[in-house]
Structure 1
């Protein structure tokens, strides 16, 4: 189980160092996110990346990504610190001392939506949010 590389575009889009302004929406900070395959990105600069450098006769593109906003996550170093801490914690759960060992020892399991809800705090009002956890907001 595991991968040799990952794509972190939307995950890192909310950090301070990512391009874009911080926008406050309904009292919470966000940053705009535009995936490389989105219509806006393809219209501006990524057509060649997706093999659509020449516009068709109709001048249309076929987007494969989205545009939206993601929660602001603060400084990259602080976000990565929490992210790496989560990986280290997972390594501890499976008894892995390095990433190659994690790949061989990890087992992915599927849980139901009810199991996912049950695995998060419930029946309690959070009074302080931890930097590595924020409850789902609807």
Structure 2
């Protein structure tokens, strides 16, 4: 999509303090439990019946789930996630010499890279010992 004006960010915020779901620890790492509104668990509980125009009396086998349930890494307060995103945006605007987001849209273009290029552009051949808030293992 060229020059999007909106984005879907549910997964980005799913691991925050403000997101619904319990905090769990798995092998020493913290995670937030995640249940998408279109998941089988939520649909069968009746919580999403209005959203998906379901009859509350139908059984689990009649649902057509569109979401999943699982865990996502815990990331802390949503304020910190947004702070990191703003920092990344400011950095990108600086790299492109853009004073406004609109100006950045006109100065940049999307370039698709290969999986090999993606892997090469990230840290490799190193064991990360301290995670940065904007780069998690």
TM-score, with structure 2 as normaliser: 0.85
Q: CA deviation at 1:39?
A: 1.5
RMSD: 2.0
Match of 2:29 in 1: 28
Classify the secondary structure of the residue corresponding to 2:128: coil
Q: CA deviation at 1:109?
A: 1.1
Q: Is the 8 A contact 1:2 1:106 kept in 2?
A: no
Q: Is the 8 A contact 1:9 1:35 kept in 2?
A: no
Q: CA deviation at 1:87?
A: 1.5
Q: CA deviation at 1:56?
A: 9.0
Match of 1:18 in 2: 19
TM-score, with structure 1 as normaliser: 0.85
Q: Please tell me whether residue 37 in structure 1 is matched to residue 41 in structure 2.
A: no
Q: Is the 8 A contact 1:15 1:74 kept in 2?
A: yes
Match of 2:129 in 1: 127
Classify the secondary structure of the residue corresponding to 2:85: helix
Q: CA deviation at 1:130?
A: 1.2
Tell me how far apart the structure 1 counterparts of residues 101 and 14 of structure 2 sit (CA, whole Å).
25
Q: CA deviation at 1:89?
A: 1.5
> Tell me, which stretches of 5 or more residues in structure 1 are unaligned?
none
Q: Is the 8 A contact 1:37 1:64 kept in 2?
A: yes
Alignment of 1:58-137 (within 5 A): 60-135=62-137
Q: CA deviation at 1:77?
A: 1.1
Tell me how far apart the structure 2 counterparts of residues 88 and 9 of structure 1 sit (CA, whole Å).
22
Q: CA deviation at 1:57?
A: 7.0
> Tell me, which stretches of 5 or more residues in structure 2 are unaligned?
none
Tell me how far apart the structure 2 counterparts of residues 57 and 23 of structure 1 sit (CA, whole Å).
31
Classify the secondary structure of the residue corresponding to 2:71: strand
Tell me how far apart the structure 1 counterparts of residues 124 and 19 of structure 2 sit (CA, whole Å).
33
Paired positions, count:
134
